Amino acid sequence: MLNTNIIWYRQIDRSGVTSMKKSKVFKMATVSMLLMALLVGCGAKEDRYDAAQSAKKLVLATNAEYAPFEFHKDIDGKDKIVGYDIMIAEEIAKDLGVELEIKDMSFSAVVESVATGKADFAMAAMDPTPEREKAMLFSKTYYTAVAGVLVKKDDADKFKSADDLKGLTIGVQTGSTFVDVATQIPAFNDKEQLMQLDKVGDLVQALESNRAGAVLVELPVAQAYASNNSNVVIAPIQLEPASEGYVAGVAKNSPKLQAAIDKTIERLKNEGKLDEFINEANRLVESD
């Protein structure tokens, strides 16, 4: 369980997750990407656990635009990628006795980079969707997903329920499962109302400039933007997330690496480190 004192807008009953209609646009794009990744990566046979041991290096694919999970921060005059996922990835590398190398890329490229062997594993606030499962093996869940809705502060009083989002342009990150979350909005039309951009920061700018009426993101991400931007707030709207939580992903031919990652996640859970990490990640965001 995550510390609910930190994730202070946690309002959704996770036991009641429902199946949602898939966005045709998202599904077609995702399936095409994964099929390409499978074709390119089918020749790779070595478990990435063995490759990491040989190279003494574990390569992580992520999208460092999603605070507090992974984001850029100036530390002692140097740009570093930090966050909740990064803290867990560092522990995985430490348990394997290897160096962690972080590759920052667009979210839509993360799955392909693992499937084709350009990275050993992925951690990018990633849900275990059926489409991604075609190209990856998933770790145990390390974070329970909760949806958040960002709106302009000046319009905050207008938003109380999903009905209040009806007819608005809704911003989501390209390739994310929030494409599916948006279908809970009454009479939602993805062709006319959906805005997909690679960076959450660009979505927030679209919100501020009235090009979007709301932005759907993971709740801690919404908290991070609201704490650093006085123009946006989190609306008290309850939307069901598209999955049970976030996982790490490895290539289909890497069950040894999958098992090693699971072992680290289980250790961190037992030691209470996952609560510590989300708290520390939020403090890093707030210290900007």
Digit-coded pLDDT (tens) for 94-103: 999 999 999 9
Averaged pLDDT for residues 262-271: 97
Distance between CA atoms of residues 201 and 195, nearest Å: 13
Position 37 pLDDT exceeds 70: no
At residue 223, φ and ψ (nearest 5 deg) are: -60, -40
- Each residue of 159-198: pLDDT tens digit? 999 999 999 999 998 878 888 999 999 999 989 999 999 8
Query: HEC profile for 181-226?
Result: HHHHCCCCCHHHHEEEECCHHHHHHHHHCCCCCEEEEEHHHHHHHH
> What is the DSSP code (8-state) at residue 246?
E
Q: Which helix (H) or strand (E) holds 82?
A: strand 78-82
The whole-angstrom distance between residue 139's C-alpha and the CA centroid of its chain comes to 14
> Could you state, in order of their start, the residue ranges of all structural domains in the chain?
29-143+245-286, 146-234
- Each residue of 233-260: pLDDT tens digit? 999 999 988 777 899 999 999 999 999 9
| Contact between residue 61 and residue 118 where contact means Cβ atoms under 8 Å apart | yes
Residue entry with tokens 């209470």? 272
State residue 275's pLDDT score: 83
Averaged pLDDT for residues 43-57: 88
According to CATH, the superfamily of the domain at 146-234 is: Periplasmic binding protein-like II (3.40.190.10)
Nearest in space to 198 (alpha carbons), one of 34, 35, 23, 63: 63
DSSP helix/strand/coil, 65: strand
According to CATH, the superfamily of the domain at 29-143+245-286 is: Periplasmic binding protein-like II (3.40.190.10)
What share of the chain has pLDDT > 90, as a percent? 65
State residue 121's pLDDT score: 98
Distance between CA atoms of residues 199 and 177, nearest Å: 14
At residue 59, φ and ψ (nearest 5 deg) are: -100, 125
pLDDT band at 34 (very low <50, low <70, confident <90, very high): low
What's the mean per-residue pLDDT of the chain? Answer: 85
Distance between CA atoms of residues 141 and 36, nearest Å: 26
pTM, two decimal places: 0.65
DSSP helix/strand/coil, 52: helix
